Amino acid sequence: MDEHHIRFLALIEVVGKPKEYVDQAIHGYVNDIKNNGDFVVLRETFADSIEKGKFWSTFVELELVVKNVHQLIAFCFDYMPASIDILKPEVLTFTLRDTNLFFNDLQSKLHMVDMVAKNRAAEIDFLKTNLKTMIENTIMIVLVNRAFSGEDLSNLLKIGKEEIQFFLDDLEKNNKIKKEGETYTLVHGKQGKD
């Protein structure tokens, strides 16, 4: 190990299910790190998988050596360890190049995370809209032949009373159903329009 090499401990955790997947994933992670030419694994200590609620969790502690600060930063970005502990050297020097690479890598990762978050938000909005439409259409189909109370619709469709009320209110507001006393009926001529 020369004076520029960095020796550190890294803790990598995997959470998921089933247990077999978690055990395979942590070993796969370590094999990927070993096969990466930039890192030298000196030691690996695997923990037993433990059940945490509905998931399984395990971790591995690795002792590694990298040639420079840039490789350490790359390791952190690529493998996202839960923690690192630099053992040697006592003092790290960041060159202007190292600092620029760090901030550019950081910005790249932040933009990627932002894009993933926006895509997930759009997917969730799409699913919510479609689920709302499906539930409202189901309510209207049920109301084609007879009137039902909100409680009856809740029991029939297996949707909580408060939740179904949201859909009933929206359908009533949009003049697709009407409430007469405690029961709801389809507004004449609305069947088959959606």
pLDDT digits (tens, 9 = 90+) for 143-167: 998 999 999 999 999 999 999 999 9
Q: What is the pLDDT of residues 17-76, one digit of tens each?
A: 999 999 999 999 999 999 988 899 999 999 999 998 899 999 999 999 999 888 898 899
Asked whether the predicted pLDDT for residue 185 surpasses 90, the reply is: yes
Backbone φ and ψ of 176, nearest 5°: -100, -30
pLDDT, position 3:
62
Q: What is the pLDDT of residues 75-93, one digit of tens each?
A: 998 899 999 999 999 888 8
Q: How many angstroms separate the CA atoms of 166 and 162, rounded?
A: 7
Residue from 171, 172, 180, 138 nearest 157 by CA: 138
Determine contact, residues 73/102, Cβ cutoff 8 Å: yes
What are the structural domains, with CATH classification, of the chain? 6-91 (3.30.70), 129-186 (1.10.10.10)
pLDDT, position 194:
46
pLDDT, position 77:
87
Asked whether the predicted pLDDT for residue 192 surpasses 70, the reply is: no
User: Dihedral angle at the C-alpha atoms of 143, 147, 149, 152, nearest 10 degrees?
Assistant: -60
**With bands split at pLDDT 50, 70 and 90, how would you rate the model's confidence at 189?**
low
pTM for this predicted structure: 0.63
